[in-house]
Amino acid sequence: MSTIPEELRYTREHEWVRVDGDVATVGITDFAQSQLGEIIYVELPPVGRAVAARAVIAVVESVKAASDVYAPVGGEVIESNAKLIEEPGGLNRSPYGDGWLVKLRVANPAEAEALLAPDAYAAIAKE
Amino acid sequence: MELVFEKHSAASGAANVPDPGPEAEALVPPELRRAAPPALPELSELDVVRHYLALSRRQVGVDSVFYPLGSCTMKYNPKLCEEAARLPGFARLHPHAPDELCQGMLALLWNLEQRLCEICGMDAFTLAPMAGAQGEWTGLLLVRAYHRARNDARTEVLVPDSAHGTNPASAAMAGFEVRAVASNDDGEVDLAALRNAVGPKTAALMLTNPNTLGLFETRIKEIAAVLHQAGALLYYDGATLNAICGVARPGDMGFDIVHVNVHKTFATPHGGGGPGAGPVGVKARIAPFLPAPRIVREGERFARAEASPQSIGRVGAFGGNAGILIRAYAYLAMLGREGVTRVAQHAVLAARYLAARLAPDFPSAYDRPCMHEFVATPSAAILGKGVKTLDIAKRLIDCGFHPPTVYFPMIVHEALMVEPTETETKERLDAFVAAMHVIAAEALATPEKLKAAPENAPVGRVDEVKAARELVLTYDMAR
Amino acid sequence: MPFVSLTDADVEAMLGELGLGSLDALFAHVPEDLRRHAFALPPGRTQLEVERELEALATRNDRAAGAVCFLGGGAYDHHVPAALREILRRGELYTAYTPYQPEIAQGMLQALFEYQTMLARLAGLDVANASLYDGATACLEALGLAVRHTNRTRVVVDANLNPRWRDVIKTGAAGMGLTVVEVPGGGLAQGRDPAAPAAAVDTSTAALLVPNPDFFGRYADLKALAQAAHAHGALLIGAAAPISMAIFEPPGAMGCDVACGEGQELGLGLSFGGPYLGFLAARKELVRRMPGRLVGMTVDSRGQRAFTLTLQTREQHIRREKATSNICSNQSLCAFAAGLYLAIMGREGLRRCAAACLAGVAALRAKLAAIPGVTLFPGTHWREFVFRTPLRAEHVCELLAAKGILAGVPLAARFGAGIWEAGDVLVAVTEKRTAEEIDAYAAALREAVTAAR
């Protein structure tokens, strides 16, 4: 069973987001990393890039799959998790912790409220 | 085993090349001279031969084992075809030789075009594309040129979700946007979804028939009508032509453009990944756009002609992989009319038989008669043990078989795609069934045995994650 | 029936097991009207009959295939070692497909890894891929690589690149969204001027593609071009000839980011234009944007060294329309052969081969220079050069062909208009051409030109 922390919001494409003030931290869920298998490469956006909600912000690759990561909310990239470039396996070990992908300064923090609650996401990630 | 760079002998192959002396190299101006010679191997010819022979023992091909690799048509490669391509009159023929002096070659290629036209139901063929994917790209450039000539700038190519990855990749390279079309529960193109997707922006639909699930698209004429009524073209990916050649023709189904993979249907060897050839056939209204060179016949004389002004241009430096096309010609000459049909019949029979025999342990993904290949999945009981299709594939290696294609098409979970071809004996097919049955039993009783497979291969299971994380692409990157 | 392995009894038994009455019943779900075509193909023939037909067809090419070959223009008559031909007949190798199951494909994988290493070393770059179709498509793919790397779409191409390769770039450009700017890097009489195309590079340029040697066999120093390209953020791509790299400064050492070109000369023979070998080498920073297969070194479950295809997420079977190229089947066996050729020749053998071409060109040029009416052009020529006579070039070639010499490529007749004139012949001299053949060539040309005066 994959874990789905209560305090986060989710998307149908298996991203999670945590909003602190005007900063949104984005990653992929435990379910997503387990489906992909061992992560070998992460492509991250440069700091300063403006992204619209639902635009591709990162690519996560395993040996046999490449998965686009979409921005759950719009904003400006303020940090990318450079540690994952060195050691992409961190994403497998700690998808909600050290394995975060991108931090965004969000224009409208309320956008995250419209995303999936944990129980709604759990229904999607069941199969 | 050692790399060629880890071996050294004082004697080297250079002994066979006369030394033109230092005055030759002195002709290179100092600023253009290479500072240090490239670090190439220094080995005696015998040591080189031993190295490569040792490599060949760590490799299997169709000549070694049953190789039911779905979607790749790994049939026997007749040895006469190999001999033919090596005849000095072909092998030593320079592509810039004047047409008058290579009439035998041009006659062969012209005749091959005619036979491909007849088999596919097309009006003209080009032999220039050097592989299936290059054929697709060529075909899509033809689609683009055809619409442009009618002042109709169409931007989208439709591709079924079950399609080969080359289809969307070729469409993108030809400048089209790619739209996926869903399959229905029968594994065929969903006609309602297709009708919704087709519009004034649609340039073409790319389709294999039978499709990548090994199923014949029974409503192919309706599909063609939907496309044609919307002013779009229908493109045939010839990857599965082995199922229908000599039985039914893409041209009669309504396809406007086809490519054939001669390394699949026409028994030319796969070469460890290539070279193949991907001739492209078209209906007459698309022929003016074909790439150069065109092979033309003027009475008893053959010539290479530049293409028409409407042509898409050239797709390769010369006229295609002639050495491969010679093999295909020789194969077709031996088969003849009855032989071509027999190939499709026996290929389908072998697949249908295997699908039925394997079904108890590996049920087909779709409960419908397959053509020359089928997609199966491990039974629920096997998957329940945590055994993956990959584990089954690796265990098959221990049993002396090349595994089927795995994890394709992507729309089938844990897919095993099996294509036996017409060139295997019934005994071999039965032995494969027996091995799969043993593996299914092992999966239930000792799943760890499958996880540890292969045991009897030159190397154990290869760590692909390490390969990708710690990229070592040359010997120098390893040090 | 040839090449089907089920007996009549097998067929009957298998149909019985499936509950079918005939082979036709296998196709019952294919609409009946689609199965009515009577195929107009010749009847099947025995192996012996087909062997005789193929031998007869091949013999009809003997006047060309058996002639003394001074043809170049993208394919060259180099010696193919017997040991290479012998190894290539190993069925384990040539009847395999793409090594998707690495445990039983270590032979091909290791050989391709060795090829990648040898090509990278030759080119003076970090990495090489496991093959593309030919020199022309390798150039197109190299430009695509530069476009992905720079996010720019304008490319500058030295118009003295092989005209066939330029055609292929033009064919592909529209679909790939490329704007191709062609600038000739020096006329025949003027000599090479690679600075001319370099001057067209601007900050919207993805790459500068320069041949070395160029189509007329001339070598140039590209180091200043590398600076010009890099100053604008563009890549420098060198389209190069592998054998020449044994003695000439290779693309990487001249500052090229990418080297690409035709590997036919590495033991592949002529075979009427294919199968040949597109090679592509690059700096390692570009590897994730590279097209085509890559073999990597890793370990197996027991910790032994092993090889596998890697970075497959760049490729079409995973990334589909976002792949770095659509290439699937490539020219693996040709790359295998090229690696084998380099291993047989070795460092010294390749040096001798490259030097012999240089010496052969110098010898033939010296002979032709002595013929009144023949014009030569300046430059550092390695394996090829252009000469001009007052006669039409194709007529010169016909006269020499009658003496069993394929004199070269008549440029205007073969390629239409260009920087050449009607009397220009492109001639290649490989290590196979003997002093006697060079003498015979010069004598025949002298006779042809003198007779016309």
Secondary structure (DSSP) of B287-353: GGGPPBPEEEEETTEEEEEPPPTTS--BSSSSSS-HHHHHHHHHHHHHHHHHHHHHHHHHHHHHHHH
Distance from the Cα of B71 to chain A's closest Cα (Å) equals 18
Q: What is the pLDDT of residue C159?
A: 98
Angle at C155 between CA C149 and CA C157, to 5 degrees: 130
Closest residue, chain B, to A61 (C-alpha):
B468
pLDDT digits (tens, 9 = 90+) for A22-63: 999 999 999 999 989 999 999 999 999 999 999 999 999 998
Is the minimum CB–CB distance between A61 and chain C shorter than 8 Å? yes
Q: Best of B389, B414, B465 to disrupt the A interface by mutation (most A CBs within 10 Å)?
A: B465
Phi and psi, residue A9, nearest 5° = -115, 155
Nearest to A64 among C288, C318, C322 (CB): C318
Using the predicted structure, report yes or no on whether residue B306 has a pLDDT greater than 90: no
pLDDT digits (tens, 9 = 90+) for C315-332: 999 899 999 999 999 999
Using the predicted structure, report yes or no on whether residue A127 has a pLDDT greater than 70: no
| B452-468 mean pLDDT | 97
Is the minimum CB–CB distance between B110 and chain A shorter than 8 Å? no
pLDDT digits (tens, 9 = 90+) for C105-123: 999 999 999 999 999 999 9
Token couple for C117: 């290493």
Q: At what angle do helices C163-176 and B132-149 cross, to 10 degrees?
A: 70
Looking at residue B442, what DSSP letter applies?
H
pLDDT digits (tens, 9 = 90+) for B28-62: 999 999 999 999 999 999 999 999 999 999 999 99
Query: Cβ contacts (< 8 Å) between A63 and chain B: which residues?
Result: 464-465, 468
pLDDT digits (tens, 9 = 90+) for B60-82: 999 999 999 999 999 999 999 99
Q: What is the pLDDT of residue B21?
A: 86
Q: What is the pLDDT of residue B72?
A: 96
Chain-chain contact of C320 with B178 (C-beta, under 8 angstroms): yes
% of chain B surpassing 90 pLDDT: 94
Q: What is the pLDDT of residue C453?
A: 76
Alpha-carbon span B173 to C176, nearest angstrom: 6
Q: Best of B406, B464, B472 to disrupt the A interface by mutation (most A CBs within 10 Å)?
A: B464
Looking at residue C132, what DSSP letter applies?
B
Chain-chain contact of B5 with C120 (C-beta, under 8 angstroms): no
Non-local (6+) Cβ contacts of B36 within 8 A are none
Query: Cβ contacts (< 8 Å) between C312 and chain A: which residues?
Result: 63-64
pTM (two decimals) = 0.97
Using the predicted structure, report yes or no on whether residue A1 has a pLDDT greater than 70: no
Token couple for A113: 């409220």
Alpha-carbon span A26 to C8, nearest angstrom: 64
Distance from the Cα of A116 to chain B's closest Cα (Å) equals 26
The low-confidence residues of chain C, meaning pLDDT below 70, are: 1
Alpha-carbon span C433 to B305, nearest angstrom: 31
Q: Number of C-alpha atoms within 13 angstroms, CB side, residue C228? A: 19
pLDDT digits (tens, 9 = 90+) for B17-30: 888 888 888 999 99
What confidence tier does A2 reach under pLDDT thresholds 50, 70, 90? confident
Alpha-carbon span A27 to A102, nearest angstrom: 7
In this structure, are residues C253 and B446 in contact, taking their beta carbons and an 8 Å threshold? Answer: no
Alpha-carbon span C150 to C130, nearest angstrom: 23
Q: At what angle do helices C393-401 and C435-452 cross, to 10 degrees?
A: 120
In this structure, the dihedral spanned by the alpha carbons of residues C431, C405, C83 and C277, taken in order and rounded to 10 degrees, is: 80
- Cβ atoms within 10 Å of C70's Cβ, excluding its own: 27
pLDDT digits (tens, 9 = 90+) for B115-144: 999 999 999 999 999 999 999 999 999 999
Q: What is the pLDDT of residue C66?
A: 96
Chain-chain contact of B460 with C316 (C-beta, under 8 angstroms): no
Query: Cβ contacts (< 8 Å) between C313 and chain A: which residues?
Result: 41, 61-66
Using the predicted structure, report yes or no on whether residue B107 has a pLDDT greater than 60: yes
Non-local (6+) Cβ contacts of A118 within 8 A are A4, A5, A6, A8, A10
Q: What is the pLDDT of residue C331?
A: 97
Residue C183's Cα: distance from chain center in Å? 23
Using the predicted structure, report yes or no on whether residue B399 has a pLDDT greater than 90: yes
In this structure, are residues B386 and B28 in contact, taking their beta carbons and an 8 Å threshold? Answer: no
If you count residue pairs, one on A and one on B, with CB atoms under 8 Å apart, how many are there?
13
Using the predicted structure, report yes or no on whether residue B108 has a pLDDT greater than 70: yes
Q: What is the pLDDT of residue A112?
A: 86
Query: Cβ contacts (< 8 Å) between C121 and chain B: which residues?
Result: 38-40, 474, 476
Using the predicted structure, report yes or no on whether residue B15 has a pLDDT greater than 80: no
